[in-house]
A and B are shown apart, each in its own frame.
Chain A
Amino acid sequence: MQCIGKDHPKVDGKGLMTGKLGYTDDLADPSSLIIKVLRSPHAFAKITEINLNGADEIPGVECIITHKDFKRIAVTRAGQGYPEPSPHDKFVLDNVVRHVGDEVLAVAAINEQLCLKALDIIDVTYEVMEPVLDFEKAIGHQSIIHSEEECHEMFPIGFEPSKNIAASYSMNVGDVDEDFKKCDVVVEHSYYTQAQAHAMMEPHTANAHIDFQGRLHINTSTQTPFHVRRIVATALDYPMSKIRVIKPRVGGGFGGKQCVHGELILAAIALKTEKPCKIVFTREEVFESTFSRHPMRIDVKLGAMKDGTMKAFDVNILSDTGAYGEHALTVFMVAGSKVLPMYNKVDSVRFTGDIVYTNHTPGGAYRGYGAIQGNFAVESCIDLLCEKLEFDPVKFRQKNMIGLGETSPIFEIMGEGTEGTAMFMESCKLDYCVERGLELMKWNEKYPRVANGRKVRGVGMAIAMQGSGIPHIDMASAVLKFNDDGFFNLLIGATEIGQGSDTVLSQIAAEALSVPLDKIIVYSSDTDLTPFDTGAYASSTSYVSGNAVKNAGDKMKELLIKEAANTFGVDISEISYEGLLIKTKDGSQEITLADLGNRLIYNEDQKQLIADGSFVGQKSPPPFMAGFAEVEVDTLTGKIELIDYVAVVDCGTTLNPHLALGQVEGGLVQGIGMAMYEEVIINSKGAQVTNNFMNYRIPTRKEITNMQVEFADTYEESGPYGAKSVGEIGIDTPPAAIANAVYNAVGVRIDTLPITSEKVLTEILKSKKL
């Protein structure tokens, strides 16, 4: 292959790094009105009165919008396909605020100072209500967070707002209760995972104007431009045909920009003022008023026989979706559907749970999307089971984990909010990933611990799987246009957010057309000019969008061969296509791609060649990985240090190995952050304590000193040139692998993330007392 598997630098990399105009705020009209949102100081309150006190008469204040300016249309901001599996429970603005940081009203003025002056003099009277701040007490709480009659589910998801339940689910294979009775050993434990903030470096921002055709143009830092168009149209009851959404360059997303945030208020103000306007979130707003990862309590029960055969598997989850139900059901389901099938040889499985409303900042999509939560609980519990079984935890996994050619009934039962899709593992080198990881970690020399005075090093591991898009739902498409001088425009709906999709998808097009990468000029994510794509989420871009681009490339190649045959006056079977040069097989005639382009545009048989390609997955082939952590614990202070992390990943073909490596390393560090450092902390009034980078600690380059990442040599037949996904898989294993390593070092199991020194020391002291 001439372009696939090569480390091409990101096509937009140099421009972005040297400060060329590209990100959303760079594109805002310099005269834009500035929008500022007044946000709720209360976790749960009814707005009884808004007194503008003349704020709307301040010269330079152009517009103030409150809930009274909107029809009551309930939407979900989730940014998912339609109909969404998330409840429609959000209004652009409402007369009830449901978390600290929820929107009360918005002001647009000619500068920020006037916005702030206006916000300062506006008086809002609230009737403060008792908030639900403990998600384990949400069901049956006297406060009902969503009692609005307009709220609804789009199809049955177990939505019961009167009980503070956003969604609920249960599934069952076999009879777990009976099977547990037959097991030699049964373990049961509850695990808690915390809210994690995305902390992408570019805050959420969007800007808009009304064009000369009276259409609303929105530039927004989003992962889902087509969903933004649909949701804005629905929420504002405005024709979708009159909205154009462009996603410029994006400074990181990780799921945090899948959902709609400032766009609704922005669009309303642009339509009202008909002036260019923009909204740029403060970092505090990013923390408090967008989304974070759903916190969960995960109850795991596992049963096995003495010979290490796993028999039964029972998982119950209580998930906290916060004030609104975006991604409530689907994140929860992925905690099962991307974890349970790893142990596919069990006789019975049960997966149940509720996703509850609280008055916290809402949960939303975040890289890993439930799988990281489920992985921490299950992979921690597997080690607990092995301890009771007196069975080696690596050998236990090797004996029970999924392998090539195998399947799991879970695939068919559980999708994302709907039923799933049956599939067999046509590529799976999880066994290799484990073996190779053991070697790289020098496991046999280090397991379980190496003591050096009061400092003890331990190793731990976990395995993981993810998906590659949502089958039968996620659709992507691509258009290739052939130009004079023999180069191509690649138009794709797919959403480059820093992960390198513009580059990788260009490589796929270049490969299909056998041309160098510089012959492909990529343009992505413009709802007027590029074809549809669901967006950058669910680990779908390489697999789903990649297949769409390959289909378009294959089609374009056929068109070029046909035109060359026409030029030469021969049958297409006589054509030898080499990309930059097209010949007859007998070598008697040839034409360069550039000349063919010029001929078709200017000289003879004139026409514009355009090829399109679409793709919707028939399955979601999982990438797999094995993760190994080595930690050092100071037994006197509890201080834990990550010494090394080894990851061996099966993601099919690495289309661009450097970019794939970046995805895994970046995912690992976010996973390590969740495992050891990061936690959204909320005080007794419901306000975030960790609403800035001083208090919310993401890993710096001082914490991450050693990682080893390798890829298994695999090929997924259904993927473009053998690729599966690689965007999320890297994040899943660190919490469990690090928890298991801490146990192997000092014999204490931390079941509540993050694994801090304080918790480790507390457990060490407790274990000494016993």
Chain B
Amino acid sequence: MIVTLDINNRPYEVNVRPDEYLLETLRNLRFFSVRKGCDTTSCGVCTILVDDNPIASCSYFTVKAEGHKVTTVEGIKEESEKIVDLLQKEGSDQCGYCSPGFTLTLYSMKQKLEKPTDDEIRNYLVSNLCRCSGYEGQQTAIKNYLEVK
């Protein structure tokens, strides 16, 4: 079936199956930042934003996205590069696979929470798993991005 999607503020007309998830659709459209991690909404790797809310694209039907605003890391270039620079400054990037999902969740947190505490940060990002870094450097980078102490 044909659906019209708004991805990163551009219209896309795509032919999808009714049971197709956004993860597959976005990868077919060559948005390589959207990556498969677990298939069960539990690792955060495939996170994208739908109407500025973090969503696991592995479990979100593409047809449901019609009429909504879909954002991937490619759509927030300036902000994502800022986050990347801060992560790199702490040396807290390793394999990079989970980073786009993490970046979008962090970006969304910045819109939603004002001056979050350490615990609020950890709670907001708890579903974005990282197996490489140990989280410590990420936490510092996050706080630098949010300009909180």
Contact = CB atoms under 8 A, between A and B. Distances in A.
A13 B135 CA distance: 16
Contacts of A252: 94-95, 97, 131-132
A17 B43 contact: no
Interface string B60-85: 00000000000011100100110111
Contacts of A743: none
A497 B131 CA distance: 12
Contact of A201 (B126, B130, B139): B130
B45 to A, nearest CB: 5
Interface in A231-258: 249-252, 254
Given A17-B99, A19-B72, A202-B97, A693 B28 contact: no
Given A201-B131, A662-B132, A666-B133, A693 B96 contact: no
Contacts of B139: 701
B1 to A, nearest CB: 15
Interface in A1-28: 7, 9-10, 12-14, 16-23, 25-26
Interface string B88-118: 1111111111111001000000000000001
Contacts of B103: 17
A22 B132 contact: no
Interface in A490-514: 497-500
A18 B81 contact: yes
Interface in B124-149: 125-139
Contacts of B27: 25
A500 B88 CA distance: 12
A692 B97 contact: no
Interface string B13-54: 000010000000001101111111111101101000000000
B73 A18 contact: yes
21 contacts: A12-B96, A17-B87, A17-B103, A18-B33, A19-B73, A21-B30, A201-B97, A201-B129, A249-B96, A254-B131, A283-B37, A284-B39, A497-B95, A657-B91, A661-B137, A666-B131, A666-B132, A692-B42, A701-B138, A702-B122, A705-B122
Given A200-B131, A283-B40, A700-B126, A16 B136 contact: no
B129 A693 contact: yes
B100 A19 contact: yes
A17 B93 contact: yes
B123 interface: yes
Categorize the interface residue count of chain B: 35 or more
A251 B84 contact: no
Interface of B: 17, 27-28, 30-40, 42-43, 45, 72-74, 77, 80-81, 83-85, 87-100, 103, 118, 122-123, 125-139
Contacts of B35: 23, 25, 202, 251
Contacts of A665: 133-137
Contact of A251 (B40, B95, B134): B95
Contact of B32 (A20, A30, A662, A692): A20
A304 to B, nearest CB: 35
B43 A707 contact: no
A19 B122 contact: no
Interface string A637-662: 00000000000000000001111011
Interface string A670-695: 10000000000000000000001110
Contact of B131 (A17, A203, A249, A698): A698
Contact of B42 (A21, A497, A694): A694
A280 interface: yes
